[in-house]
């Protein structure tokens, strides 16, 4: 059964199996949640990385201009499926690129509706964090992400707003409401 958990050493073994897949992964749209852990594991500082995630959630030791964010791992029993980060607020940059929720699915589990299910679970978590709606962004070429997000927008309400475009990015931007999902038990 799929569940969202806080990152911990309990699940590191399963994550290690995914690392090799990620190293071969050529989908570089949003690897922000994965690259630091790959690096941490290579440098043998998993404890430090997990501590950083815990600090990040509490807004401690933050990089300038960063807002707090809660990271969840999506697990199927003991198997690591993906990572999601819910930022607690937007910055001008996140409004253009990144939004509230980042998603990364293990390459071998893509196309199984894992991101759809994981983001759906994150909508309820976001509501508990006080967010009535979340902004989701994705590269205009990232069809999987776009379809997952618009599917959730159709189910739970929201709206697609104008794309954001800069020298190096062109993002679709979609608000998804969290109130309806928060009421479902």
Ligand X SMILES: CC(C)(COP(=O)(O)OP(=O)(O)OC[C@H]1O[C@@H](n2cnc3c(N)ncnc32)[C@H](O)[C@@H]1OP(=O)(O)O)[C@@H](O)C(=O)NCCC(=O)NCCS
Supply the minimum distance, in Å, between the C-beta of residue 47 and ligand X: 26
CA distance 16 to 8: 13
Residue-wise burial string across 75-85, b where 16 or more C-beta atoms lie within 10 A, e elsewhere: beeebbbbbbb
Q: Does 36 bind ligand X (CB under 6 A)?
A: no
Cα first-last separation, the chain? 16
CA distance 9 to 7: 7
Q: Does 182 bind ligand X (CB under 6 A)?
A: no
Question: Of the candidates 18, 49, 75, 104, which one interacts with ligand X according to CB under 6 A?
Answer: 104
Supply the minimum distance, in Å, between the C-beta of residue 147 and ligand X: 3
Q: Does 112 bind ligand X (CB under 6 A)?
A: yes
Question: Of the candidates 14, 27, 160, 164, which one interacts with ligand X according to CB under 6 A?
Answer: 27
The residue (of 21 and 55) whose beta carbon lies closer to ligand X is 21
Q: Does 73 bind ligand X (CB under 6 A)?
A: no
Q: What is the radius of gyration, based on Cα positions, of the chain? A: 16
Give helix then strand counts, H and E, for the chain: 7, 7
Question: Of the candidates 105, 131, 135, 181, which one interacts with ligand X according to CB under 6 A?
Answer: 105
Determine phi and psi for 153, rounding to 5 degrees. Answer: -60, -40
The residue (of 27 and 54) whose beta carbon lies closer to ligand X is 27
Token digits of residue 84: 């999601």
Instruction: Tell me which residues in 114-153 interact with ligand X (CB under 6 A).
Output: 114-116, 138, 142-145, 147-148, 151
- Contacts with ligand X, residue ranges (CB under 6 A): 27, 29-30, 103-105, 110-116, 138, 142-145, 147-148, 151
């Amino acid at each position: 059964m799929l569940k969202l958990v806080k990152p911990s050493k309990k699940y590191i073994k399963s994550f290690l199996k995914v690392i090799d897949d990620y190293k071969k992964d050529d989908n570089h749209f949003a690897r922000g949640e994965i690259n630091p852990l790959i690096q941490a594991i290579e440098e043998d500082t998993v404890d430090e990385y997990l501590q950083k995630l815990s600090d990040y959630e509490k807004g401690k030791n933050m990089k300038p201009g960063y807002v707090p964010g809660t990271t969840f791992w999506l697990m199927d029993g003991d198997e690591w499926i993906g990572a999601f980060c819910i930022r607690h607020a937007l910055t001008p940059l996140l409004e253009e690129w990144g939004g509230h929720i980042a998603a990364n699915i293990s390459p071998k589990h893509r196309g199984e509706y894992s991101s759809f299910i994981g983001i759906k679970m994150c909508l309820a978590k976001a509501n508990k964090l006080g967010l009535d709606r979340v902004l989701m962004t994705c590269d205009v070429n990232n069809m999987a992400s776009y379809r997952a997000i618009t599917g959730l927008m159709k189910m739970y309400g929201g709206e697609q707003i104008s794309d954001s475009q800069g020298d190096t990015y062109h993002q679709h931007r979609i608000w998804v409401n969290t109130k309806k999902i928060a009421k479902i038990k």
